[in-house]
Chain A
Amino acid sequence: MKHLNEEDLIEHYYTKGESAVAGQHLESCAECAQAYAALKGDLAKMEFAEPPIRDAAYGKQVWQSIAPSLLAYEARRRGWLRGGPGRALSYAAACALLVVCAFIAGRQWEHRHIPAVAANNPAPARQIEPKAAQPREHVVVVVLGDHLDRSERLLVELKHADADSDELVAPMRDEARNLLAANRVCRQKAEQADDPALASTLDLLDHLLAELANQPDGLNTVTLTRLQDEMKADGLLFEVRVLRSRIPDKQADKSARHQGGTI
């Protein structure tokens, strides 16, 4: 039989007999039981002086003694302002200088790298026009790109819209009204340029924008669901995204302009 050592007995005492193994052993082993009784006796006698009673004012006394040496957190957080207005101004001037340096560096970088980027990303052959038509066509392409961007955002909002939420629906209606006129101009241009894919998509978009913009009673759940279903059936959002991907973005456009070309 393996007896319990002092550590086991101490553990058993402080865990208040949690260990069933030790408890069973103590019941069956007189030697260990005697040792445990002696330990219990010793520990029970280890009563030390109780802490002196502190009255209710003690906490306040402690607080009064330490309070003067504490610094408020807010004051520490704003410690960098403690140097006065001069120090704050110097920080502001340093920040402004950094911004100016970053701007100049960005401009320099742009001048050096744009020709290379443009050379590596030639525009699609279909979009290269004679030099005489460059400015006007350029404006049209940029306007079309912006228009498709805004239309795409509106369609995404429409896709996830909830008719109960007025703060979302009202701006959508306003945006649709704004886009409607631009969409008609773009559609006419697409027809003139003999681009049936673009014209067809813009036609669908025109229909949707008109519906969205001209609901006399606002958008109720039934109307919203119908418009969402139509948009989904036509694959309008996908079509707009495809068309948008055909339009070079503004950065590339700028590159081309620096190079003297047209998108």
Chain B
Amino acid sequence: MDKNDHAAIQAILAGDKEAYGALVVRHSQSLFRVAFRITGNEADAEDVVQDAFLRGYQKLGSFESRAGFGTWIYRIAVRCALDRIGGRSIHENHRVAEETDPEQDEVQVADTAAGPFHLLLSGEIQAMREMAMRSLTPVERTAFVLRHMEDLNTEEIGVALGIQPNAAKQAVFRAVHKLRLRLAPLRVRI
């Protein structure tokens, strides 16, 4: 474990609350990155980062120093992000609009008559990818993000999500399968 992290944790447990500030500053960026990838928007990602650090502080007494603090707080952030997207569905949160606006949870659905060049120019491919991602269950989405973007192996994903490695692997398989089905029209057009 990072010596600075270890020293900060010892100081916090001895009553120096301010020492936690150093840990927050050091690990905020990586937590924001994974939180954004899982939740898909900035506001949720920022909330997840704060929740994760709050939960981390509350549980710091049970933190085992053989694990790195960065890895530990990262897992907490993944759980927070999973909680955040839990229960959210594409139908509840998104509506079709004239323009794609992730902040407003609005998406412009591609006109199937439009050519692939037009699709590329309008950024609709990206919007469809986001739509496809939002069609996944929270666990599938999170497992896929951790595998595809964060490059974690199935054991690490299992630990982060609190599930067995084989269940994590199956979640990744299902996610990839669904995404390929959803994005199949793009493949034909491009």
* A residues whose Cβ falls under 8 Å from a Cβ of B: 6-7, 10-11, 14-15, 39, 41-43, 45-49, 51-52, 54, 58-60, 62-63, 65-67, 69-75
Tell me which residues from 15 to 39 in chain B have a Cβ below 8 Å from any Cβ of chain A: 15-18, 20-21, 24-29, 32-33, 36-37
* Count of B interface residues, CB-CB < 8 Å: 48
* Among candidates A11, A52, A65, A72, residue contacting B17 with C-beta atoms closer than 8 Å: A72
Please tell me which one of the listed residues A43, A59, A71 contacts residue B148 in the complex, with CB atoms under 8 A apart.
A43
Given contacts A48-B129, A73-B13, 6 further A-B contacts (CB under 8 A): A10-B172, A14-B147, A49-B130, A62-B53, A70-B20, A73-B15
Contact bitstring B49-81, A, C-beta under 8 A = 1, else 0: 110011001001100000000000000000000
Chain A, Cβ-Cβ closest to B20: A70
B127-163 residues at the A interface, CB under 8 angstroms: 129-130, 133, 147-149, 153
Quote the shortest CB–CB distance from A80 to chain B (angstroms): 16
- Count A-B pairs with CB separation below 8 Å: 100
* Contact between B54 and A48, CB atoms less than 8 A apart: no
Q: CA separation between A60 and B163, bound complex, in Å? A: 33
B14 interface residue per 8 A CB criterion: yes
Cβ-defined partner of B28 (8 Å) among A15, A39, A62: A62
Contacts of B190 in A (CB 8 A): 45
A73: B residues at CB distance < 8 A: 12-15, 17, 60-61
B179 / chain A contacts, CB cutoff of 8 Å: 42, 46
> For the complex, what is the distance from the CA of A3 to the CA of B7, rounded to whole Å?
54
Known contacts A43-B148, A48-B133, A49-B130, A59 near B26 by CB under 8 Å:
yes
Report 13 cross-chain contacts, Cβ distance below 8 Å, ordered by A residue. Answer: A6-B176, A11-B169, A14-B148, A45-B183, A48-B126, A49-B126, A51-B33, A58-B29, A59-B25, A59-B26, A62-B28, A70-B20, A73-B61
Q: A43-B148, A74-B15 are in contact. Are A48 and B29 (CB under 8 A)?
A: no
A7 to chain B, nearest CB (A): 5
Chain B residue with minimal CB distance to A16? Answer: B151
* B180 contacts A by Cβ under 8 Å: yes
Quick check: A66 and B50 within 8 Å, CB to CB? Answer: yes
Docked Cα-Cα span, A63 to B12, in Å, equals: 14
Chain A, Cβ-Cβ closest to B173? A7
Chain A residues positioned under 8 Å from B14 (CB to CB):
73-74
Q: Say yes or no: A52-B36 contact (C-beta < 8 A), given A7-B173, A62-B53.
A: yes
Q: Which of chain A's residues has its CB closest to B53's CB?
A: A66
Chain A residues within an 8 Å CB radius of B26: 59
A63 touches B24 (CB 8 A): yes
Chain B residues lying within 8 Å of A42, measured Cβ to Cβ, are 179-180, 183, 187
Nearest chain-A residue to B183 (Cβ)? A42
Residues of B within 8 A of A10 (CB): 172-173, 176
Would B173 and A6 count as touching, CB distance under 8 A?
yes
Among candidates B16, B17, B32, B50, residue contacting A54 with C-beta atoms closer than 8 Å: B32
Name B50's contact: one of A7, A11, A43, A65 (CB within 8 Å).
A65
B42 and A59 form a contact (CB under 8 A): no
B3 is an interface residue with CB less than 8 A from chain A: no
Contact A69 B54 (CB under 8 A): yes
Report the bound CA distance from A39 to B183 in whole Å.
12
Which residue of B21, B46, B130, B153 contacts A48 across the interface (Cβ within 8 Å)? B130
User: Nearest A residue to B58 by beta-carbon distance?
Assistant: A70
> Are A72 and B183 in contact, with the CB atoms below 8 A?
no
Q: What distance in Å separates the Cβ of A11 from its nearest Cβ neighbour in chain B?
A: 7
- CB distance A52 to B42 under 8 Å? yes
* Interfacial chain A residues near B20, Cβ < 8 Å: 63, 67, 70
Which residue of chain B has the shortest Cβ distance to A53 in the bound complex? B29
Measured in the bound complex, the distance between the Cα atoms of B49 and A63 in whole Å is 10
In whole angstroms, how far apart are the Cα atoms of A46 and B16 in the complex? 45
Chain B residue numbers with a CB within 8 Å of A66 are 24, 50, 53-54, 57
